[in-house]
Amino acid sequence: MAVSSRGAKQPTLAQLRAFSAVAEHLHFRDAAAAIGMSQPALSGAVSALEESLGVQLLERTTRKVLLSPAGERIAARAKTVLDSVGALMEEAEAVRAPFTGALRLGVIPTVAPYLLPTVLSLVHRRFPRLDLQVHEEQTASLLDGLAAGRLDLLLLAVPLGVPAVTELPLFDEDFVLLVPRDHPLAGRRDIPREELRGLQLLLLDEGHCLRDQALDICREAGRTDGADVTTTAAGLSTLVQLVAGGLGVTLLPRTALRLETTRNEHLGTGYFAEPAPTRRIAFAMRAGTARQEEFTALAAALREQVRPLPVWPTD
């Protein structure tokens, strides 16, 4: 137990971790299992923390554990302390040995299936000591995770326009028009954007950035917001099957085209006249992160790795 200059006992990190786990699970057995500590040791650590702080943190009954009013306040402080210690250790590790340890990468669903094979190949070949942990979520959730320190780096469509987030552009890619095989626009390579005004358009659900990008393209083409737009799918694969079934057309990123349309004879594609509508894919990191140099180098390596794909790497 550490002692302050005034003689008061100071909580240890082990005590804070034990209490934080109990505050999260409200169950001693589950909390002990979550942090790899025996239940008696965990109970003793929480009791020692209560003694050092001079307050009761928990209300214990035979069936459940509840936080006292003081415990609710201390739990929030304990989480902040533990998060800060975790960030300190990550910064020290990043300085000591770049491209080692955990890298928690967040990826949007409309990028993950099509780019992750390239990312994983790069990491396995060039950075074998990097422990890549992938989290697939929508943009808003990824940004929350980045801000909270739950995620280290994001792979998503930009621009984001979010303060304190630095973007590292990777590549641009065209959108193509996916239509039923017998559609008049199937096989066209010079489709003007204005054609979008009169089409039955199928889009992803609210929350997907690809939906917002498609609507922006439609507005640029002079299409009224919401006109003949049917939201019917939570994922691109379902959306593609709806197009194959003749329910409408959709906009598909060029990197998704091969995977999503292979072995489906009921689909046709059309390509827009230049300049075609595009989206930009980038890494995003916290501004000022200790791993900025590492992430910048990873972005440069990935730009080289994507050159065989139907994209245009950024400079």
Q: What is the pLDDT of residues 213-263, one digit of tens each?
A: 887 787 777 666 555 566 567 788 888 899 999 888 888 999 999 998 887
Same domain? For 199 and 269 the reply is: yes
Q: Which domain holds residue 121?
A: 102-171+281-313
Q: What is the CATH number of the domain that holds 230?
A: 3.40.190.10
The helix/strand/coil state of 91 is: helix
Same domain? For 78 and 115 the reply is: no
Q: Residue 159, preceding bond cis, omega within 30 degrees?
A: yes
Q: Is the dihedral of CA 239, 242, 243, 248 positive or negative?
A: negative
d(CA 51, CA 57): 10
Same domain? For 117 and 252 the reply is: no
Same domain? For 90 and 235 the reply is: no
Same domain? For 145 and 125 the reply is: yes
Q: Are 201 and 250 in contact (CB under 8 A)?
A: yes
How many CB atoms are located within 10 Å of the residue 15 CB? 23
Q: What are phi and psi of 183, to 5 degrees?
A: -70, 145
List the structure tokens of 26.
């409200």
User: How many folded domains does the chain comprise?
Assistant: 3
Q: What is the CATH number of the domain that holds 60?
A: 1.10.10.10
Same domain? For 165 and 185 the reply is: no
pLDDT at position 5: 44
Same domain? For 129 and 223 the reply is: no
- Helix locations, 127-179, DSSP H: 139-148
Same domain? For 274 and 308 the reply is: no
Same domain? For 60 and 142 the reply is: no
pLDDT tens digits, one per residue of 165-183: 999 999 999 999 999 999 9
Closest CA to 232 of 204, 210, 213: 204
Q: Are 170 and 302 in contact (CB under 8 A)?
A: yes
pLDDT at position 116: 95
List the structure tokens of 135.
């989290």
pLDDT at position 103: 92
pLDDT at position 304: 95
pLDDT at position 213: 80
Q: Are 268 and 179 in contact (CB under 8 A)?
A: yes
Q: pLDDT 10s per residue in the chain (315 long)?
A: 454 444 567 889 999 999 999 999 888 888 899 889 999 999 999 999 999 899 999 987 767 789 999 999 999 999 999 988 887 887 776 666 678 888 999 999 989 999 999 999 999 999 998 999 999 999 999 999 999 889 999 999 999 989 999 999 999 999 999 999 999 999 899 999 888 888 888 888 776 777 878 877 877 776 665 555 665 677 888 888 999 998 888 889 999 999 988 878 899 999 999 988 899 999 999 998 888 999 999 999 999 999 999 999 997
pLDDT at position 156: 94
